[in-house]
Structure 1
Amino acid sequence: MPETHMEIRWPDQSTESCYSPSTVIGEYLQAGKDYPLAEFVERCDQALNEASERVRKKYGYACSAASDQNEHIKRQAAKQPAGQVNVLRIHS
């Protein structure tokens, strides 16, 4: 599976690199686009769960890194002020 990274800017203007074990993240988020915080979290949840299931189908076990990243995004989002998350870049 080709792992993918995305660079994001949170509403508080901090930036972060996030991980996906699959390119499926690109089906849920677009580079250069802003997402309301709650929508960003929901899209990441869907994408990372799907990515983990792809790993399960291929290797027989879920991807713990995808689950960890998903939980990290949710924790970080809970600390953010209301606003937009900007997806700066998605790359392999």
Structure 2
Amino acid sequence: MNVLNVILLVLLFISGLLTVALVLMHSGKGTGVSDMIASSLYNASAGSGIWERNLDRLTVITSVIFVACVIVMAVTFPTGTISLAG
């Protein structure tokens, strides 16, 4: 594996974990981690909308990074490293 593939694997792993964590932080039907954090950090009337908007943006950014890493790795990852011919 070359340096590009190692960097992409690390970036893929980190962006995957961040995407999962951010999706879990989204509120489902009014109760979620983001509601608890928003109510504890900000005023409930002023902060929750901003918190959700920023959470949405971060989720989209990490998802795009994850998909881009998968696409680039699909094109550049070395093939034929395991030979089944006997």
Q: Same fold (TM over 0.5)?
A: no
Larger Rg belongs to: 2
Structure richer in helix, relative to its length: 2
| Higher relative contact order (Cα pairs below 8 Å, separated by 6+ residues) | 1
Structure richer in strand, relative to its length: 1
